[in-house]
Amino acid sequence: MKQIYTDRQTYRPTLFAFTVNQSISQRSLKYVERITNNILFSENSPLAFKFVQHFSENGLHFLYYTSWKTLGNMTSSLVEFGGMSRWANRKALVTGCSSGIGAVIAKDLVRYGVIVIGCARNVEKIDVLIKECEEAGYKGKLIPYKCDVGKSSEVEAMFEWLEKQHGGVDICVNNAGAGSMTPLLDLKGDEMSEILNINVVGLVLCSNLAVKSMLARNIDDGHIINISSMLGHIIIGIMNFYTATKHAVTALTKGLRMELAAKGSRIKVTQISPGRVETNFHPSIFGDAEKGRKFYESVESLTPRDVSDAVLHAISAPDNCQIYDIMLQPTNLGSPAAYATILKP
């Protein structure tokens, strides 16, 4: 048995999970029941999940066991972040919301009653998320917007629309990102420009326009979240151009925070820096879905849930506490050199 989450407000355990690589013996279940005196579910079915949500929302502790992967990929978080209540009915932009990390962040925000504008190029994929939110009875709303954040004109048009239709945003999650396995020595200008425009220029422009919108409305508790990477902190010798853009995100996060502080603003800026996460990212940079799948099978990875929980933790922190950076790595990472070996094309 392994405790995986605690209630951030009181540090009392709220959720336990088991791995079910081997089936769990009745004896161990009884043992957990005895030591925790909690409610126990044994099935990873939508119905069981609804019960879990219900009990959780009513402040009861519960137990849940499933495989780590299933738990990580579940469409709804099982963790309650007490400080999230202040965001209900506020507006958030999540870029790159059509898959992976952005999709889970968007749904989590909707679960807490936030009105989320989710943008991506493949905007039709967001319709599936909207349906999931509606079926789960989430309090907030997810609104799709088609935008290529690598194109400044499209970002500017999106913020004009945001202002007119929704009166601006109070949270901006810069999540859209692109990577490449091409060595620096072989990179062409077009590929570099595309990655730079999405990971850096788009991120800065979205932050600028979100902050302008907040300042114009005297919003002093807004939050900019940059989904960076561990490659914003370390260099492993592959994906070097992507690494440079994520190092740029680290510099830009710190720079924006300083500019806002110099203005006397209390708008917070947080960077979340995950190591590898199981999403469409690696299949996409390998240009080979099967290779991507095998890669994730061969190494332990974070899940989008891990990253979204870090976002919720940052934005639910109390007013006096600004979280600068959360670094997350899979527990069994191995050395960066081992990671580089695995990733060799």
Ligand X SMILES: NC(=O)c1ccc[n+]([C@@H]2O[C@H](COP(=O)([O-])OP(=O)(O)OC[C@H]3O[C@@H](n4cnc5c(N)ncnc54)[C@H](OP(=O)(O)O)[C@@H]3O)[C@@H](O)[C@H]2O)c1
Residues lying near ligand X in the complex (CB under 6 A): 95-102, 119-122, 147-150, 175-179, 198, 227, 229, 274, 276-277, 279-281, 284
- Is-contact 122 148, C-beta < 8 A? no
The residue (of 15 and 248) whose beta carbon lies closer to ligand X is 248
Q: Which amino acid is it at 68? A: W
The residue (of 53 and 279) whose beta carbon lies closer to ligand X is 279
Shortest Cβ 323–ligand X spacing (Å): 17
The residue (of 112 and 339) whose beta carbon lies closer to ligand X is 339
Shortest Cβ 116–ligand X spacing (Å): 13
Shortest Cβ 190–ligand X spacing (Å): 14
3-state secondary structure of 224: strand
- Is-contact 102 120, C-beta < 8 A? yes
Shortest Cβ 55–ligand X spacing (Å): 30
List the structure tokens of 252. Answer: 């830009």
- Is-contact 94 108, C-beta < 8 A? no
Q: Which amino acid is it at 29? A: L
C-alpha distance from residue 332 to each of 70, 275, 329, 339 (Å)? 18, 11, 8, 11
The question of whether 138 is a catalytic residue gets the answer: no
DSSP secondary structure of 173-200 = EE---------GGG--HHHHHHHHIIII
Closest CA to 59 of 12, 104, 18, 16: 12
The residue (of 63 and 205) whose beta carbon lies closer to ligand X is 205
Task: Write down the catalytic residue from 242, 296, 324, 339.
Answer: 242
- Is-contact 160 205, C-beta < 8 A? no
Residue 202 CA to residue 212 CA, distance in Å, equals 15
The residue (of 100 and 140) whose beta carbon lies closer to ligand X is 100
Closest CA to 223 of 273, 266, 171, 159: 171
Shortest Cβ 193–ligand X spacing (Å): 12
Active site residues: 242
